[in-house]
Amino acid sequence: MTRVLITGGAGFIGSHAADALLAAGYEVRLLDNLSPQVHGPDGERPSYLNKDADLMVGDITDELAIERALRGVDKVLHLASSVGVGQSMYDIASYVRTNELGTAQLLQALSRHRVERLVVASSMSVYGEGLYRGLDHGADGAGDRSIDQLRDGDWELRDGSGRILDPVPTPESKPPCLSSIYALNKYAQERMCLITGKAYGIPTVALRFFNVFGPRQALSNPYTGVLAIFAARLLNNRPPLVFEDGLQRRDFVHVSDVARACHLALESSHASEVFNVGSGQSRTILSVAQSLAEVMGRTDIAPEITGKYRVGDIRHCFADIGKAAAGLRFAPNVAFEDGLDELAGYLADQIADDHAERAAEELSRRGLVA
């Protein structure tokens, strides 16, 4: 029986990937440090973890833990990562240590323990701004918004004539534009894995996840996915905090679809390639906050549009999933509305500590929110 190691396997995406792989007949081993920011202070095995998954508690930067975890392993799904644009901009050494040094430690071990396949989780954050089409020209990349523009509350990207650019689905061919330490980390992770995989004959694929949502996301982590942050606010009878004007567009993909993409990538014949994993649709952050309040029965709590911006944030980015459809035979199965309904059911008996305001204050104190 084929054994897969999932680094970061006790987390949100990892636990769902474990379920999918176990259902497909794999043996699954998980390596996870059970970070208190994600799992709480107790350090106990999460109750949602599949009982058939073998959990090894250890850090991705620990050479001995990696060596133990790799014993008898045939394939690796590398998900271990510190996540969050905002926190990465001030907790820089920690993010580089976990995301880049941790990946380097894993790859060094894989140079000695060759596996059949390596799949690494990357992120849409590597694109910076997504792809745009000008009002009178074809698809084009867009640069960063200036600080002066943001201070004036002029949120949209514009061409040289001052006209607003139209966002279009972003393909893998768009050059990276790294606007945060986290984005830099994720790009380094994918490139290190692709380079090392090619050098040592390990077929390797990088998956660029867009905004993943669903049950099991850490509700008390103020740097996790935006839907979980909004949910924590609503569970505590507080309005979701929406930056800028709320009309920035993102691509929300259900975690079960992401888990299936990981499964497909582990079984594909592709190597040295990058694939987007998203829904192929875009939604404004404001509409998402409103929809979540509706399914949670909290339409009495309106989102609070702050009119503030965070350093490292981008305006619009959503996925072109054509390459994943052709290369991995990936297509999202869960409609956004159905995923929200499922999430609302999961949230009904959850308790969340709301740290969103504290996180915003920390960013503001450091000059990263204005």
**Predicted pLDDT of residue 181:** 95
pLDDT digits (tens, 9 = 90+) for 201-229: 999 999 999 999 999 988 767 667 788 88
61 closest CA partner among 27, 88, 35: 35
**Predicted pLDDT of residue 314:** 92
In three-state form (DSSP H/G/I as H, E/B as E, the rest C), the secondary structure along 73-139 is CCEEEECCCCCCHHHHCCCHHHHHHHHHHHHHHHHHHHCCCCCCEEEEEEEHHHHCCCEEECCCCCE
Report the C-alpha gap between 146 and 161 in whole angstroms: 15
Tell how far CA 253 is from the center of its chain: 10
**Predicted pLDDT of residue 362:** 63
**Which regions of the chain does DSSP assign to beta strands (E)?**
3-7, 27-32, 54-57, 75-78, 117-123, 131-133, 139-140, 166-168, 204-209, 211-213, 241-242, 249-250, 252-254, 273-277, 283-284, 304-305, 316-317
Percentages helix, strand, coil for the chain (3-state, rounded to 5) are: 35, 20, 45
Show pLDDT as tens, one digit a residue, over the chain (370 residues).
Answer: 899 999 999 999 999 999 999 999 999 999 999 998 888 878 889 999 999 999 999 999 999 999 999 999 999 999 999 998 888 998 999 999 999 999 999 999 999 999 999 999 999 999 999 999 865 545 555 667 888 888 889 999 988 888 899 999 999 999 999 989 999 999 999 999 999 999 999 999 999 999 999 999 887 676 677 888 898 899 889 999 999 999 999 999 999 999 999 999 999 999 999 999 999 999 999 999 999 999 999 999 999 999 998 877 899 999 999 999 999 999 999 999 999 999 988 888 776 666 556 656 666 676 666 6
Task: Tell me the domains of the chain and their CATH numbers.
Answer: 3-365 (3.40.50.720)
pLDDT digits (tens, 9 = 90+) for 107-120: 999 999 999 999 99
Name the packing angle between helices 336-347 and 285-295 (round to 10°): 50
**Predicted pLDDT of residue 40:** 82
Q: Which two tokens stand for residue 252?
A: 């929300």
Report the C-alpha gap between 293 and 139 in whole angstroms: 35
What DSSP assignment string belongs to 242-261?
Answer: E-TTS--EE-EEEHHHHHHH
pLDDT digits (tens, 9 = 90+) for 83-94: 988 889 989 999
pTM given for the model: 0.93
**Predicted pLDDT of residue 137:** 47
